[in-house]
Amino acid sequence: MLAEIAAKSREITADVLVLGAGMAGLGVALRIAPQAQVAVVAKADLTQGSSLYAQGGVAAVLNEGDSYAAHIEDTLQAGAGLCHADTVEFVVRNGPKAINWLIDQGVDFTRESGQAGTPYHLTREGGHSHRRVIHAADATGRAMETTLESHARNHPNIRIFEHHIAVDLITSRKLGRSGPNRCLGAYVLDMGAGETCVFRARFVILATGGACKVYLYTSNPDTSTGDGIAMAWRAGCRVANMEFVQFHPTCLYHPQAKSFLISEAVRGEGGVLVLPDGTRFMPRHDDRAELAPRDIVARAIDFEMKRGGLDCVYLDISHKPAEFIRSHFPNIYQRCLGLGFDMTRQPIPVVPAAHYTCGGIMTDLKARTDINGLYAVGECAFTGLHGANRLASNSLLECVVFAAAAAADIAAQLAATPPPPENLPPWDESRVSDPDELVVVSHNWDELRHFMWDYVGIVRTTKRLERARHRASLLQEEIREYYSNFRIHSDLVELRNLAVVAELIIRSALARRESRGLHYTRDYPGLDAGPARDTVLVPEQYTDV
């Protein structure tokens, strides 16, 4: 039987395996490709991750009126005492270099006058003391992602595997081999062929993005299912600060909008939040009003909606000239217009939605995880940059800076690192059958996202969290039984990962007995009296399921 399995298992070998194809993944791939053979695995089409949908831009110190010290201080302030100072300084000081690399790749950032040769236009977003967000109109992620995609598709040393989803990491410890634990590759499901392949590599990069699909309402695409975080946890990596989930204050409220994000830059350029009767409410909640950090704005909206029994609030920038709105926010304008809202003439309805995972797989400043040969870059990683709340537009910056750091570290080790063993075991499907009722998966998926939204959302209580932990435990038992008995498919892989991530978020939230940054609990509304501490979770032991 094992011979039959081996014959059916496809094997791919590369120097570097990159799981994820957003800004982090493609950033590593393009930087290391001149020196190594790279395999890039994407769950959908190459660009269909969160990076594509980033609207606002990239924060960096790019003009004389700004300073590293100011950007560092703004980041520390937003992070509510939990940012790692060394990480913040490392990222901020490498910001201009990261932007220049993007410009060298051909990313067409917006200029002041729209003409080549004029200075780049910089906008300001919530929590920033200066205009420092470089952007490509209101579709920065698309401009960056499609530019890097073009280079990746045409690079002779990069092989791209679209519509493939990583199932689990292959490590020496998992295989029972002696010596230090090392990542040797991954099992990857070819969704088109329904075949689970063995990818062998000297180095593996987790660039799988965040986990906000664990919530009912999210600004993220369907690919954001926490795959990298769950795989790293199962492989034995520590994770940290999973309780800090950023809810973006302003997603378009419309049944057909598919959680369309209204960029923070709309508020940065003068948009105000109002109730249905036109009353502005943010000044009652914070002196910075609409320019307060996202956690404050999201909680204020949540409060006003619950207080007034509202389905949504409204974002109004119609007092600005129509041409200004159309030129600064062309994509947002067109999307809203297509749904019946003319933002040059009327307020647009908005609600908060899960947007960014601030916690993740613990790494150092070279993006290295607890397992030799395994790196994590981008939203799936915990670097210490964001603390208890991410400062707007620091995420794309983190992707590019740490992609460079990871690539440099791998390049320094390539010559001395032998290839992975050739006798990696194939994926074993000898004791499973085809699933009989896929409705079980879809039902569990819906249940998970509903109880996470109801019990582990913007405002939490210990009782709600305990309820969520109980439901998550039962759900994981059901998923474990299903996973053990039936042939895998992408929905099951994602559900399994989301259930792990839900548990990590709940456990982290229960462990933090204070309200800090994005974690707000009614049972502990103030800050803890002691020093600020990260919530670090350590796997007790490796489990195959």
DSSP calls for 204-244: EEE-----GGGSSSBSS-TT-S-HHHHHHHHHT--EE-TT-
Domain membership of residue 433 (yes or no) is: no
Q: How many CB atoms lie within 10 A of CB 60?
A: 29
Please state the three-class secondary structure of 344-402 as a single string: CCCCEEEEEEEEEECCEEECCCCCECCCECEEECHHHEECCCCCCCCCCCHHHHHHHHH
Domain membership of residue 531 (yes or no) is: no
Diameter of the chain measured on Cα atoms:
71
* Same-domain check for residues 86 and 33: yes
Give buried/exposed letters for 387-421 (b at 16+ CB in 10 A, else e).
bbbbbbbbbbbbbbbbbbbbbebbeeeeeeeeebe
- Rounded Cα distance, 67 and 65, in Å: 7
* Same-domain check for residues 235 and 345: no
* Same-domain check for residues 260 and 225: no
Domain membership of residue 545 (yes or no) is: no
* Same-domain check for residues 301 and 193: no
Alpha helices in 414-544 (DSSP H): 439-455, 462-485, 490-511
Instruction: Report pLDDT for 433.
Output: 64
* Same-domain check for residues 287 and 256: yes
Residue-range definition of the domain harbouring residue 509: 439-525
- Tell me if 76 sits within 8 A of 85, measured CB to CB: yes
Which residues sit opposite 195 in a β-bridge?
190
Domain membership of residue 461 (yes or no) is: yes
Q: Could you tell me the CATH number of the domain that includes residue 299?
A: 3.90.700.10
Is 307 a catalytic site residue? no
Q: Could you tell me the CATH number of the domain that includes residue 171?
A: 3.50.50.60
Residue with tokens 């989301």, as numbered in its chain:
498
Domain membership of residue 297 (yes or no) is: yes
Tens place of pLDDT per residue across the chain (545 aa): 333 434 446 899 999 999 999 999 999 999 999 999 999 999 988 777 777 777 779 999 999 899 999 999 999 999 999 999 999 999 999 999 999 999 999 999 999 876 776 789 998 887 899 999 999 987 888 999 999 999 999 999 999 999 999 999 999 999 988 888 999 999 999 999 989 999 999 999 999 999 999 998 888 888 899 999 999 999 999 999 999 999 989 999 987 777 788 988 899 899 999 999 999 999 999 999 998 877 889 889 988 988 898 989 999 999 999 999 999 999 899 999 999 999 999 999 999 999 999 999 999 999 999 999 999 999 999 999 999 999 989 999 999 999 999 999 999 999 999 988 888 999 877 666 666 666 778 889 899 999 998 899 999 999 999 999 999 999 999 888 888 877 888 999 999 999 999 999 999 999 999 999 999 999 999 999 889 999 999 998 544 43
Instruction: Report pLDDT for 482.
Output: 82
Instruction: Report pLDDT for 420.
Output: 85
* Same-domain check for residues 23 and 124: yes
* Same-domain check for residues 181 and 126: yes
Domain membership of residue 424 (yes or no) is: no
Which H or E run includes 161?
A: strand 158-161
* Same-domain check for residues 21 and 140: yes
Domain membership of residue 541 (yes or no) is: no
Domain boundary among 355, 372, 395: 355
* Same-domain check for residues 221 and 365: yes
* Same-domain check for residues 447 and 367: no
Domain membership of residue 423 (yes or no) is: no
Dihedral pair phi/psi, residue 206, rounded to 5°: -90, 115
* Same-domain check for residues 513 and 410: no
- Rounded Cα distance, 511 and 434, in Å: 40
Question: Going by DSSP bridges, is the β-strand pair 158-161/38-41 parallel, antiparallel, or unpaired?
Answer: parallel
The total of structural domains in the chain comes to 3
* Same-domain check for residues 23 and 140: yes
- Tell me if 231 sits within 8 A of 504, measured CB to CB: no
Q: What are the structure tokens assigned to 459, written together?
A: 């405002």
Please identify which of the residues 294, 390, 449, 460 carries the catalytic annotation: 294
